[in-house]
Amino acid sequence: MFRIPGLLAAVACLLPMASAAAADQSTALPGPLVTPAWLAAHLDDPDLVLLHIGEREGYDDAHIPHARFVTLDDIALSDHSGKGLMLEMPSAADLHDRLGALGIGDRSRVVVYFGKDWASPATRVVFTLDVAGLGDRSALLDGGMPAWQREGHAVTREVEKSTASSTLSPLTMKPLIVDAAFVQTHAKTSGYALVDGRARAFYDGVDTGGAHGVSHQTGHIVGARSIPFTSIGNDDLTVKSPDALRTLFEVAGVQPGDTVIGYCHIGQQATAMLFAARLLGHPVLLYDGSFEDWSQRGLPVETVEAIATASKGH
């Protein structure tokens, strides 16, 4: 029998490990945000799972090659009757099956992108992946489909047939979801910043939100700051620079190192704001029930006008 000397044998044993490590490194995501150029260079990586979120018609008309169509109902629990809550995080077992059905496995690198202007639904998918413990293996395509097409990359109408599902180990869920009781306790606690991610008109109390014919309360949660989800992006839907994002958070009164608790109407728009907070290094939490749950509970709210009136009274 041909024998390899001890040292060479040891090296030979390490080669497969080194090759695997090199392969993992070559497909590793550079961070939670990837550029169209990066995606184009890695589009054919065998472990890449590409998720398109937007209107079905838009996906059918044109999507990035290899992309799978995903909806928020694919990754969340929603009561569309108006009696329950929309967009709630599934249990670990349920979410495991949902992600597995999208072709996500233990070796997958997942890139999420939006068609047209569906930025906050895309960040909700990214946030869900982070909750599932896959945050270091998932990313958002900066600028989405519009940026991909602006840079001249190929699109297709072809829908690939589903392949055998990858193996996904049981999920270890990260504790990133909080409830109304937690928000009440921490809204004004040092080291935490409660941030409303809705459009400013809802925060101010000029407009009143709602869903399925059921109105929410008017105003915002007492003690909340305002960083509208639309403010984190440039006009071309790319994410603003770290310096610009840092200024937004500083102006809103969020201190460096604060844990940011986000909420919005139903837990979608806030994830765009939380994505920006994560880019800045803030620990993040989502009040999943958001203002829908808060309103159903009849918990305290305030409007900018009421705050101003109270200030004058003093």
DSSP-derived secondary structure for the chain = -----HHHHHHHHHHHHHHHHHHHHHH--SSSEE-HHHHHHHTT-TTEEEEEES-HHHHHH-B-TT-EEE-HHHHSB--TTSSS-SSBPPPHHHHHHHHHHTT--TT-EEEEEESTT-HHHHHHHHHHHIIIIIGGGEEEETTHHHHHHHTT---B---PPP-PPPP-PPP---S-EE-HHHHHHHTT-TTEEEEE-S-HHHHHTSS--EETTEE--SSEETT-EE--GGGGB-TTSPBPPHHHHHHHHHHTTPPTTPEEEEE-SSSSHHHHHHHHHHHTT--EEEESSHHHHHHHHT--EE-HHHHHHHHHH-
The residue among 18 and 152 whose pLDDT is bigger is: 152
The rounded distance, in Å, linking the Cα atoms of 153 and 129 is 26
Q: What is the mean pLDDT of residues 50-66?
A: 97
Q: Count Cα neighbours of 79 within 13 Å in the Cβ-side half-sphere.
A: 10
Say whether 177-313 and 28-150 share the same fold: yes
Q: What is the mean pLDDT of residues 209-226?
A: 94
Pairing state between β 68-70 and 48-53: parallel
**Rounded to 5 degrees, what angle do the CA atoms 79, 123, 184 make?**
65
Per this entry, what is the length of the chain? 314
Q: Out of 93-107, 156-170, 218-232, which region has the weakest mean confidence (pLDDT)? A: 156-170
Q: What is the mean pLDDT of residues 102-112?
A: 96
For 292, the token pair is 């829908």
pLDDT for 15 equals 35
Give the pLDDT band (50/70/90) at residue 3.
Answer: very low
pLDDT digits (tens, 9 = 90+) for 25-34: 445 899 999 9
Considering the chain, what percentage of its residues have pLDDT values greater than 70? 89
Residue 101 clears pLDDT 60, i.e. is over it: yes
Q: Out of 23-32, 42-51, 221-230, which region has the weakest mean confidence (pLDDT)? A: 23-32
pLDDT for 314 equals 57
Residue 117 clears pLDDT 50, i.e. is over it: yes
Q: Count Cα neighbours of 5 within 13 Å in the Cβ-side half-sphere.
A: 2
Q: Write the CB contacts of 200 (distance below 8 Å, at least 6 apart in sequence).
A: 226, 228
Q: Write the CB contacts of 117 (distance below 8 Å, at least 6 apart in sequence).
A: 144, 146, 237
CATH of segment(s) 28-150: 3.40.250.10
pLDDT for 160 equals 79
pLDDT for 165 equals 57
For 66, the token pair is 């290899």
Q: Regarding the domain with residue range 177-313, which homologous superfamily does it belong to in the CATH classification? A: Rhodanese-like domain (3.40.250.10)
pLDDT for 1 equals 28
pLDDT digits (tens, 9 = 90+) for 270-293: 999 999 999 999 999 999 999 999
Q: Write the CB contacts of 313 (distance below 8 Å, at least 6 apart in sequence).
A: none
The model's pTM: 0.90
| Cα separations in angstroms, 52 against 136, 138, 175, 302 | 19, 13, 26, 38
pLDDT for 212 equals 80
Does residue 40 contact residue 66 with C-beta atoms inside 8 Å? no
Map out the domains of the chain as residue ranges. Answer: 28-150, 177-313
The b-or-e profile of 117-135 (16+ CB within 10 A means b, else e) is ebbbbbbbbbbbbbbbbbb
pLDDT for 81 equals 83
pLDDT digits (tens, 9 = 90+) for 151-200: 999 999 999 776 555 799 999 999 999 999 999 999 999 999 999 999 99
The rounded distance, in Å, linking the Cα atoms of 95 and 130 is 12
